Amino acid sequence: MRRFKVSAGSTIGKNHTLLQTNCQDKYNITEIQVNGESYLIGVVCDGCGSGSNSEVGAGLMARFLCQEAARQLSKGVPIEWLPDMLYRAALRYMRRVLQGLRALNPAQNHEVIAEYLLTTVLGFVMDSEKGIIFSAGDGLCVLNKNISSIDQNNTPHYLAYDLLNNVPSSFEVREFSVKQLERLAIWTDGLDPQLLPSTWGHSHPRGLQRQLNVHSRKGRLEDDTTGIVVERVA
């Protein structure tokens, strides 16, 4: 999208460094054109801290949701129809992944899910006129001057829970006007909102990542932190 600049970054948190555990955050960004219309898709995912390999589910989910959103948009599906479709598609995908993991791990379903598949989801889809933000679990969202912290008391609703309870839910959804958009950001819950001013206005493609590296070295990030930033340039 020519009118917007997109940046992203991810870094391990101080607590994970001290415990010598992996960064459990992942992100994915996709841009496509359909019949002359540009679409921008971004997703950040935060794997459950108690899962020994939850970065696996986070990475798979971020990539799958971007690819599935692009696939549906290419078929002509309106943006506002995407959240319910993506949620159901993500559950079907996770069931297939679970079957594959069970072939390697004889543990019960709930144990494999807890180890690999529990992840939050925070994403957006936008074209030249309208956009949506969708979420399952916690995180931080910025729309222009509006900062929204999605706080679930450190017990987020992980999408993969629905693999066990068979009571499918859906994403929480917020709509916005792209014509009025100056800046948009989605972050996992590891970013202190007080650090937000330092995440804007980086001209270098790696500027946001470098800034996160500085915060990490100075011990300002307790938890893993991952974000996607969209800023109007024209």
Task: State pLDDT tens for residues 84-121.
Answer: 999 999 999 999 999 988 877 777 888 999 999 999 99
pTM here is 0.94
Integer-rounded Cα Rg, in Å, for the chain is 17
DSSP 107: S
Residues facing 25 on adjacent strands: 46
Residue 9 pLDDT: 96
DSSP string, 165-194: H------EEEEEEGGG-SEEEEE-TTS-GG
Measuring CA to CA, how many Å separate 31 from each of 43, 69, 100, 155, 158? 12, 10, 30, 32, 26
**Helix/strand/coil percentages in the chain, nearest 5:** 40, 30, 30
Token pair, residue 46, equals: 């935060």
Task: State pLDDT tens for residues 183-218.
Answer: 999 999 989 999 999 999 999 989 999 999 999 988
DSSP 161: G
Reported as a pLDDT band with limits 50, 70 and 90, residue 16 is low
Residue 17 pLDDT: 63
Residue 167 pLDDT: 67
Burial of 104 (0-12, 13-18, 19+ CB in 10 A): exposed
Residue 19 pLDDT: 59
Q: Which domains does the chain have, with CATH numbers?
A: 4-232 (3.60.40.10)
Query: Does 1 score more than 80 pLDDT?
Result: no
Residue 153 pLDDT: 83
Residue 58 pLDDT: 96
**Nearest alpha carbon to residue 54 among 134, 138, 112:** 112
Token pair, residue 205, equals: 């493609």
Selection from 102-106, 167-171, 179-183, 230-234 with the highest mean pLDDT:
179-183
Query: Does 171 score more than 90 pLDDT?
Result: yes
27-55: average pLDDT:
94
Query: Does 140 score more than 80 pLDDT?
Result: yes
SS3 165: helix
